[in-house]
Structure 1
Amino acid sequence: MNEFQTIRLDAKPLSLDDFAELAVLHKDVEVSKFLGGVRDEAATHRYITDNIAHWNEYGFGTWALRDKAGTFAGRCALRHITINDVDEVEIGYTFHRAFWGQGLATEVSRKVLEIGFGPLALPNIIAFASVEHKASRHVMEKLGFRFEVEREIKGDLCAVYRLQAP
């Protein structure tokens, strides 16, 4: 479960080896627009170490994504998050702009959902995006997530979706 592949992507747990490439992704204003803003190198380092700790505690977390040529494409995650004092497991994804509009978020999310509902036996998974992030919301709806509520998360008004285990 640590590593997986899709038709076009290879995924491995995010590590400090991914720092330089992730830092570039986190500095892109367009990519970071709906992620709470640009992250500097210190914030990216914390992001990686926090995600390593999540892997150590739960056995799943954030994956670095590379295309079949080995180019860093982005990241995806299945991770615990506390929203309004409730522990949830969320799915998320972020790609370099060069990889937008190709269906990769849907492709990788399908695989992550298989992991979440298969080996991890999660009862449900949430996803959320800024209410203004139509592309991400479209991916969630295409995957079968159902809109649940609008809620402020990390200072942004977000649309929260939920998918129950099959």
Structure 2
Amino acid sequence: MFLFQLYGRYVQTNIPVLLPLMVSAISIPGPQNVSPNWRNHFVDLKGAQVKTVSFLTYLLRSFAEYIRPHEESISKSIVNLLVTCPDSVSIRKELLVATRHVLSTDFRRGLYPLIDTLLEERLMRRLEPVTMRLEVKGNGGELTDGESNGIDDNSSSYLNYCLLKI
């Protein structure tokens, strides 16, 4: 992103070349079962894919005509990343932000066939909000272990709570 901002004159010639490579990179599924020895590499792969999705959402605003042919593949890749994303708060947060940007454009139509998967509660429940339970640190104003901050784990507001924390 930074290089494209600095060297704007090269964007028009490089986007058509780089776009198919980026789309194929985010489409790599990765292994189904990851051994503990390879876990860090798997997290790095998913992190790089999410960064690429984030860059693609940046390009959506200015270069929609180049990205339109890849709309279905990008949408499938975003949902696949949501399903297979490791339990890394920063990676999931960036992916949810990128998904929110896609949903704010006309490219949301590519996600319509995948809406059932997107609305599965277990997809969002993989990420435990940081503020669900807090320990008392001596200042008396925080919740003790076992107290609730009003968010019910089984409620439909859980998804909204997670998205608002982004």
Larger strand percent: 1
TM-score (norm 1): 0.28
Larger helix percent: 2
TM-score (norm 2): 0.28
Is the radius of gyration larger for structure 1 or structure 2? 2
